[in-house]
Chains A and B, each alone.
Chain A
Amino acid sequence: MADQMSANRPQVQNGAWRSLVDDWSSDRQAFRVSWGKAMMWIFLLSDTFVFSLLLIGYMAVRLTTPQPWPDTSEVFALTVLGHEFPLLLIAIMTFILITSSGTMAMAVNFGYARNRRLAALFMLFTAILGASFVGLQAFEWTDLIQKGVRPWENPMGAPQFGSAFFMITGFHGLHVSIGVLYLLIVARKVLRGDYDRAGSYEPVEIAGLYWHFVDLVWVFIFAFFYLL
Chain B
Amino acid sequence: MAYVPSADAHAHGEPQSFVTKYIWSQDHKVIAIQYSLTAIAVGIVALVLSGLMRIQLGMPETDLVDASAYYQFMTLHGMIMVVYLLTALFLGGFGNYLIPLMVGARDMVFPYVNMLSYWFYLLSVLVLMASFFVPGGPTGAGWTLYPPQAITGGTPGAGWGILTMLVSLAIFIVAATMGGLNYVTTVLQARTRGMTLMRMPLTVWGIFIASIMALLAFPALFVAAVMMILDATLGTSFFMPAIIAMGREMPHEGGSPLLFQHLFWFFGHPEVYIVALPAFGLVSDLISTHARKNIFGYHMMVWAIVAIGVLSFFVWAHHMYVSGMNLSFGFFFAISTLVIAVPTAIKVYNWILTLWQADIHLTVPMLFAMGFIVTFVVGGLTGLFLGNVVVDIPLADTYFVVAHFHMVMGVAPILVVFGALYHWFPKVTGRMMNDTLGQLHFWITFLGTYIIFFPMHYLGIMGMPRRYYAYEDYEFIPQSAHDLNTFITYAALVVGAAQVLFLFNLFWSALHGRPSGGNPWRATSLEWQTPDTPPKHGNWGEKLPEVHRWAYDYNVPGVEQDFIPQTEPQPESGHSAGEERT
Contacts and interface: CB of A to CB of B under 8 A. Distances in A.
Interface residues of A, number: 43
B237 to A, nearest CB: 6
B188 A30 contact: yes
Describe B's contact surface by its main secondary structure.
helix
Contacts of A31: 188-189
B6 interface: yes
B109 A35 contact: yes
Interface in B4-41: 4, 6, 9-10
A6 to B, nearest CB: 11
Interface string B255-266: 110110011001
A144 B181 CA distance: 38
Interface in A131-174: 151-152, 158-160, 162-164, 167, 171
Given A57-B259, A64-B259, A159 B223 contact: no
A13 interface: no
Contact of A49 (B191, B216, B234, B256): B216
B202 to A, nearest CB: 18
Contacts of B253: 65-67, 159
Contacts of A160: 236-238, 254-255
A23 to B, nearest CB: 10
B251 interface: yes
B231 to A, nearest CB: 9
Nearest to A159: B237
B220 to A, nearest CB: 5
B263 A29 contact: no
Contact of A45 (B216, B220, B251): B216
Nearest to A8: B3
A211 to B, nearest CB: 18
A42 B193 contact: no
A43 interface: yes
Interface string A18-41: 000000111111110101101100
Interface string A57-72: 1001100111100000
A178 interface: no
A1 B262 CA distance: 44
Contacts of A30: 188-189, 197
Given A8-B3, A27-B191, A53 B220 contact: yes
Given A25-B198, A30-B197, A152-B236, A4 B220 contact: no
Interface string B544-567: 000100000000000000000000
B196 A26 contact: yes
B177 interface: yes
A54 to B, nearest CB: 5
Interface string B343-380: 00000000000000000000000000000000000000
B189 A152 contact: no
24 contacts: A27-B194, A27-B196, A28-B193, A28-B195, A29-B188, A29-B189, A31-B188, A35-B10, A39-B182, A46-B177, A50-B222, A53-B266, A57-B259, A60-B259, A61-B254, A61-B255, A65-B253, A65-B255, A67-B254, A151-B230, A152-B235, A159-B237, A160-B237, A162-B236
